[in-house]
Structure 1
């Protein structure tokens, strides 16, 4: 054990770790600043209500990080562990499908009420689950057959699992999570090493099943998916100023916040838009408050930190010879990258709003805990890559 710890400390990825810690703490500060008005007016609580809740979330996230960092990533290819993860995923999705809670305005039913103390969002777990399950399944197949020659019918079980997860998440009408989970699956498959021709076949299979799932759900519960709120977001995407008093309100006030910040910002804690103009500023629109209060510098800090983590994960994937390590690192990189794009794309008007949080920065317990677990796993993979280089 002592030898393992010594090796671990010597090969620990300190730049990646400190960037992760800094992003979490920076997000905590901005959550406190962005949420004060919301806490007082809507929660009838003290100004630090959301700050304290996120601080508790970070403590739990820290424990999750340690578990991911010290648990050898090689075990994620263990078939028994994969069955356990699959069982947990199915139970969570079944539970939220039948007993989930959500928001009437959006029609989304994406959370599990945990003893009336807190809520848990299974779709966040699904993102990490798809990375580990797909990576483990492809890795196990490559032990018996060349991974380059794998056909879609050789990995039918991961395809079935992906279809089941996408169906359940889509049934919650959490369309943002559907996009992220689909992107993660494609990234892991692309990083597996299969030939491009086979990859395109795999892409066509998943795309076909995905289209069938969406078509079926639109047929049986189209009214629940295309709620007035969600349709309004699409209309506001085309021209938010035409719906200034309705669905375009959040986007326009986000623009105002960004424009008000300018180069140097109005000062930490001095945002005007968080005073009731911008709904839920501590979640998916927290970047607008960062831009308003800290200006371009705040935006650069966030984009620089997220960009470093994504780039570092991709470099880990590129530099390792182990296909399991490569797929896990590429999957985590794609998760953070896709979720960041969807969040900032909705904020800037590049894509319709989906309510997706900004990784490590936005308020949200399930998100920060699962992302921290993923970062711990990435640190563990990084350690292996360093050991791999030392042996050369």
Structure 2
């Protein structure tokens, strides 16, 4: 898993350089390595966080449960009041001269919170009002604070990840059905009465891109062109045409389209296979963990990576509206990378804990009781 993670980081760094060349030249006065240099610094910082997290026992995060979720709510309120606005959304704050997107770290806080709460409520998880409703309300508050920024992409990631954790918590299926129904009703209300014109235009752009190819469908159509041009084997590294001002955000939201154009279907399949490998390994770690908190934590982290990958790819191929969700470990973005690397450090510690438990169990099973030795000698 570590080897795959390092490969994804390095490949992502190379692709950020390739995909952002033209954007950097146009915006930052011919600094062709502007985004590359920032991504490299982010990888170094995130890697240090990852190494530290690998050596912190995962049970430590259980103690941070209340602090993490309360801090998340406070920081999201602060973002709404004092956040930096860009692309019609207040999603960023300035910390020590650096721009940070707090909602990226909130994703992990929600996973830690739900894993802690549901591990404590196992005795009465079948009781909806006592075992399920309180944490669901907290998550709903967080989702509401993120949606009004507005940041529908991050809210989708948190909602789907939370749903998977709730599904794995052991709650009754009828309660799960009720939550699903409530979620669909709220989603319908949002799109019909709350969503801005820009958000509605993104839906039209995703499902009817050729009706307005110069506006709503512009990004998706150029994404299609990138995949079509790349074919099976691609045009070669650095040979993308769509990144020359045709495909907006080629180094973030649509980096997979640039990968498809330069490395073809083979390159896309390789990247998705490695991300899929990390998700499956994470789920196996969760299944093998004997501790309920550790099991839900691993499943939550794996679900986060899988959900974020699905949404990013779904946007690039027109399956989902444009949301601004990055491709894990590949897309440009320091806040996203920091959050994901912290999550991977926790997952690595869980894996090491599982292996240690298996070794101790195996050692214990190999010990022959003293009475059997005496019986054998007699």
How does the TM-score come out when normalised to structure 1?
A: 0.86
- Cα separation, 1, equivalents of 2:196 and 2:214: 20
Q: Residues 289 and 295 of structure 2 are in contact (CA less than 8 Å); yes or no, is this contact kept in structure 1?
A: yes
**How many angstroms does 1:277 deviate by?**
0.9
| Contact map agreement 1:124 1:370 (CA 8 A) in 2 | yes
Q: 1:62 aligns with which of 17, 35, 47?
A: 47
Compared CA separation, residues 63 and 203, structure 1 to 2 (3 A) = farther
In the superposition, relative to structure 1, how do residues 280 and 216 fare at CA in structure 2: closer, same or farther (>3 Å)?
closer
Q: CA deviation at 1:158?
A: 2.0
How many Å apart are 1:215 and its aligned residue?
4.2
Change (3 A) 1:203 1:91: farther
Describe the shift of the 1:218–1:111 C-alpha distance in structure 2 as closer, same or farther (beyond 3 A).
farther
Alignment map for 1:166-315 (pairs within 5 Å): 166-192=143-169, 194-197=170-173, 200-202=174-176, 204-205=178-179, 208=182, 211=185, 215=189, 222=194, 225-227=195-197, 229-315=198-284
Q: Does 1:130 align with 2:110?
A: yes
2:10 matched residue in structure 1 = 25
- CA distance in structure 2 between the partners assigned to 1:150 and 1:129 by the alignment: 24
Counterpart CA distance in 2 for 1:171 and 1:110 is 10
1:303-382 map, 5 Å: 303-382=272-351
* 1:11 match: none
Unpaired runs of 5+ residues, structure 2, are: 363-378
Q: Which runs of 5+ in 1 are unaligned?
A: 1-15
Other-structure match for 1:36: 21
Displacement of 1:213 = 8.8
Distance 1:344 1:217 in 2: 22
Structure 1 residues 214 and 103: alpha-carbon distance in aligned structure 2, compared to 1, 3 A threshold:
farther
Normalised by the size of structure 2, how large is the TM-score? Answer: 0.89
Q: Within 1, Cα distance between the matches of 2:177 and 2:143?
A: 15
- Which of 159, 172, 189 lines up with 2:136 in the alignment? 159
User: Which of 81, 102, 110 is matched with 1:98 structurally?
Assistant: 81
Q: Distance in 1 between matches of 2:216 and 2:190?
A: 27
Partner of 2:99: helix, strand, or coil?
A: strand
Tell me the distance in 2 between the aligned counterparts of 1:285 and 1:376.
Answer: 27
Within 1, Cα distance between the matches of 2:54 and 2:153?
28
Residues in 1 aligned to 2:253 and 2:331: alpha-carbon distance in whole angstroms: 6
Structure label with greater radius of gyration:
2
**CA apart distance, 1:340:** 0.9
Contact 2:124–2:131 under 8 Å retained in 1: no
8 A contact 1:237–1:352 mirrored in 2:
yes
How far residue 295 of structure 1 moved from its aligned partner, in angstroms, is 1.3
* Contact 1:152–1:201 under 8 Å retained in 2: no
Once residues 240 and 156 of structure 1 are traced to their aligned partners in structure 2, the CA distance between those partners, rounded to angstroms, is 40
Alpha-carbon distance in 2 for matches of 1:41, 1:313: 40
- Deviations 1:23-47 (Å, cap 9, x if unpaired)? 1111000000000100010222410
By how many angstroms is 1:153 displaced? Answer: 1.9
Distance (whole Å) between structure 1 residues aligned to residue 145 and residue 184 of structure 2: 12
| Distance in 1 (alpha carbons) for counterparts of 2:248 and 2:187 | 32
Q: Tell me if the contact between 2:13 and 2:36 (Cα under 8 Å) persists in the aligned partners.
A: yes
Please give the alpha-carbon distance, in whole angstroms, between the structure 1 residues aligned to 2:233 and 2:134.
52
Q: Distance between the aligned counterparts of 2:188 and 2:104, measured in 1? A: 20
Partner-residue secondary structure (3-state), 1:73: coil
Matched residues, number: 361
Partner of 1:82: 65
